[in-house]
Amino acid sequence: MLQITNDSLHDSESYRAYVRTLIFLYTQCAEKYVKAKMGLEARVLILHSLDYNLYSEIRTHGEPLILTAEQIEEIEVMMRKMVQDHVSLTKANYSLKEAGKIFRKENRPDLLRLLHYRSISTINLYQLDDEFDYFYGPLCQDISRVNVFDLIPYKDGIIVRTPAPDEPTRLRRFVPKPHLFSVFQQAREWSRKTGVENVSMLNDVISEGKIDELIQVSEALHAGYIAEIASKISGRSRAGRPDGLKDDTMKRLVLVAGPSSSGKTTFAQKLCIQLKAEGLKPHMISMDNYFHPRAMVPFGPDGKQDFESISCLDTELFSEHMQALLKGKSIPLPTYNFISGEREYNGETLQLADQDVLVVEGIHGLNSLVSEGIPREQIFKIYISAITMLGIDDHNRIPTTDSRLLRRMVRDNQHRGYSASDTLDRWPSVMKGEEKNIFPFQEEADVMFNSSHLYELAVLKSYAEPLLFRIGPEDPTYDEARRLIRFLSYFLSISSEFVPRSSLIREFIGGGYYHQ
């Protein structure tokens, strides 16, 4: 267990320990409250994050139990009393047989299933008051330190609000993000359709030799939604005119944005194919080609050039070119030379005809600065990210950032020659750039696309593990590497041979149609 202070929350592992301890406190109090007040056996599920907050549901008989604001406040009072009373929080090592008895007694089938795939014969369990739980990673040594939180009702569940690492003594204002929340709901629905809602269920599919079917279903769900997006862009949305004819709402400029390793490039290429099926002629443009010369890149507070800043982008020229194209004019297409750090022109030009559509991919696509002067009705904005709804168990969710980090690590090594240590070292600055330049604009999107596949972490495991094991104790990224190794140990591996060449995952592991 970790000893933490307010200052130590700036450290990522201390912050994770704080959140895990808060989850243990909350789940125990919520389940006890429902049993004592309503006489019901309840399961709390920690489903996903919304900024620095956690969305959870209390379920009875598999359905969400909707509590009133007053009832939720009573659960919070129980939590605060346990913190004030310094209720004992301990950790002990148990054999798998002993742990199994505890999980059966506490009605935790999710943890019993997890034990089945454990490769070592013991497991560390935490005990808070008279309740046991398992957590992927350490908890806080002193529960009294976990004192900045609150609970608020939201949709069918409860938001557990936590402090951000850079503001450990206060809670930020909760801003609902209905568009993003709907993507999480869609991901949950896809998990239910496939019958795979946690890592153990995925391992069951793998061990039973049924992974090929799961992969095909997951790929089909992706393809179906991309086709639906293309239909909306063309103006022939399935929810639109019954005669299937094109109406006056066809979009001419499609902006695709998302954080690092979300799969923007492959998604844009797949979307172009679907747009062709709609009778349109798409043209792909990378926003990177409109970068300013490297000498003009601003410096961040750390004294290093901030390549994530929108100031790196010549937004004036980009907007000027897009407006000209939409008016039927010809423009010279730039390319960016990443070796020299200069924008170049190679004589290539572009001019749009009536059925032509621009598909522009770049991290700043949702920022209004890149589309100033262009009528909003001609623009279609798409936000893409890798949102997994798999949990290790009911209380241990898999962060989206971990999925993207592993994607990037594998791609950096496969295609760019970077080591896992290089990727881990750069990742904190990448995340800071995303929080500043991408996440604030999420809700500006017309649609959001979840690029995650339920099976992908089991594929990435065989690529990422050897890279992580190369990192030695002397390396500053060693602790993070060991955390990811522990995380990947929960998964059985899937051979890349099962992954279709058209899959978005091929952008990271190689061998795909779109990345010859």
Q: What pLDDT band is residue 1 in, cutting at 50, 70 and 90?
A: low
More confident residue, 187 or 72: 72
Distances (CA, A) of 43 to 104, 106, 311: 14, 10, 48
Region 293-301 average pLDDT: 83
Judge contact between 116 and 398, C-beta under 8 A: no
Which residue shows structure tokens 């909707």?
66
* Predicted pLDDT of residue 242: 39
Percent of the chain as helix, strand, coil, to the nearest 5: 45, 20, 35
Q: What pLDDT band is residue 247 in, cutting at 50, 70 and 90?
A: very low
What residues contact residue 153 under an 8 Å CB cut-off, 6+ apart? 67, 68, 69, 72, 159
Domain ranges of the chain: 7-176, 188-509
Report whether pLDDT(195) > 80: yes
Which residue shows structure tokens 């994770």?
16
Q: What pLDDT band is residue 372 in, cutting at 50, 70 and 90?
A: confident
> Closest Cα to residue 73, out of 37, 47, 39?
37
CA 494, 495, 500, 506 torsion-angle sign:
positive
Long-range Cβ pairs for the range 110-115 (8 Å, 24+):
110/198, 110/200, 110/391, 110/393, 110/394, 111/393, 113/198, 113/200, 113/201, 113/204, 114/199, 114/200, 114/392, 114/393, 114/490
- HSE (side-chain half, CA atoms, 13 Å) at 327: 12
Region 346-350 average pLDDT: 93
Judge contact between 133 and 24, C-beta under 8 A: yes
Among 237-251, 292-306, 374-388, the range scoring the smallest mean pLDDT is: 237-251
Greatest alpha-carbon pair distance for the chain in Å reads 75
Task: Give the C-alpha separation, 74 to 77, whole Å.
Answer: 5
Q: Give a three-class secondary structure readout of 252-277.
A: CEEEEECCCCCCHHHHHHHHHHHHHH
Among 69-78, 137-146, 242-251, 378-387, the range scoring the smallest mean pLDDT is: 242-251
Distances (CA, A) of 113 to 96, 193, 264, 359, 392: 12, 20, 35, 45, 10
Report whether pLDDT(246) > 60: no
With b meaning 16 or more CB within 10 Å and e meaning fewer, what string describes 326-337? beeeebeebebe
Report whether pLDDT(172) > 90: no
Task: Give the C-alpha separation, 6 to 14, whole Å.
Answer: 10
Among 123-137, 298-312, 441-455, the range scoring the smallest mean pLDDT is: 298-312
Residue type at 471 in one-letter notation: I
* Predicted pLDDT of residue 513: 83
* Predicted pLDDT of residue 166: 81
* Predicted pLDDT of residue 205: 95
Region 140-165 average pLDDT: 93
CATH of 7-176, one of 3.40.50.11540, 3.40.50.1100, 3.30.980.10, 3.40.50.300: 3.30.980.10
What residues contact residue 346 under an 8 Å CB cut-off, 6+ apart? 335
Local structure of residue 61 (DSSP, 8 states):
T
Q: What pLDDT band is residue 4 in, cutting at 50, 70 and 90?
A: low
Which residue shows structure tokens 């901030």?
306
Judge contact between 53 and 161, C-beta under 8 A: yes
Region 357-373 average pLDDT: 91
Per-residue pLDDT tens for 459-483?
999 999 999 999 999 999 999 999 9
Whole-number average pLDDT of the chain: 90
The DSSP result for 477-512, as a single string, is THHHHHHHHHHHTTSPP--GGGS-TTSTTHHHHS--
Q: What pLDDT band is residue 240 in, cutting at 50, 70 and 90?
A: very low
* Predicted pLDDT of residue 12: 81
Q: What is the edge-to-edge ordering of all strands in the sheet holding 447-450? A: 281-286, 356-361, 253-257, 379-385, 447-450
> Closest Cα to residue 466, out of 498, 500, 493?
493
> Closest Cα to residue 407, out of 427, 382, 378?
427
Judge contact between 298 and 309, C-beta under 8 A: yes
Superfamily for 188-509?
Answer: P-loop containing nucleotide triphosphate hydrolases (3.40.50.300)
Q: What pLDDT band is residue 278 in, cutting at 50, 70 and 90?
A: very high
Report whether pLDDT(235) > 70: yes
Residue 98: left (phi > 0), alpha (psi -120 to 50), or beta? Answer: alpha
CA 386, 399, 189, 496 torsion-angle sign:
positive
Distances (CA, A) of 138 to 80, 90, 117, 141, 226: 21, 11, 21, 9, 40
Per-residue pLDDT tens for 417-434?
899 999 999 898 888 888
* Predicted pLDDT of residue 243: 42
Residue 214: how many CB atoms within 10 A of its CB?
A: 20
What tokens appear for 262 in the block? 């979300």
* Predicted pLDDT of residue 164: 87
More confident residue, 366 or 300: 366
